[in-house]
Amino acid sequence: MSVKITYFVHGTTTDNEQHIATGWNQGKLSELGIEQAKKLADLVNEKKFDVVFCSDLKRAVDTANLAFGNSKIIPDERLRECNYGKLNGASGDEVYAFPCIEKAFPSGESYPDVEKRIVDFVEMLKKDYEGKHVAVLAHKAPQLAFDVVLKGKTWQQAVDEDWRHTKSWQPGWAYEVN
């Protein structure tokens, strides 16, 4: 048996609109982000999830509540964005230029640190949710970590092939845990 995962990202935040990298700061959905979450609710209305996990950061919790309000929603800190440390809330240009694959942000994490959190989360899914369909709603770095952990990509491949570069958003990405 396996666990099916459909991965969703939180709606646009006021920080996103100002090109600020929120990191472990809570963040707030913008009007566009609220609209996106409500539209996501319509897009996934007919899908059946046994449980919805989301990052415990406000922007993800708010999106989950708007999109999956009638489902069991479990916030999980392992699904948080990468901790940019001293750069939480800094400009996106400054944060995204940092070589986070090779080293941790000052007083923060590296992408491989996020991978460790996701490996732990996936192990929990294997143990507790075999045969289930799980929704996960979180952020960029955890999604890239899912690509590394479950699709066998290198970190550089995951970053280079990220849908954010190609502007190819979709209403959920499929993963499977065997």
The residues annotated with a catalytic role in the active site are 10, 81
φ, ψ (nearest 5 deg) of residue 34: -65, -45
Q: What is the rounded CA–CA span in Å between residue 33 and residue 137?
A: 14
What's the number of CA atoms in the CB half-sphere (13 Å) around residue 120? 10
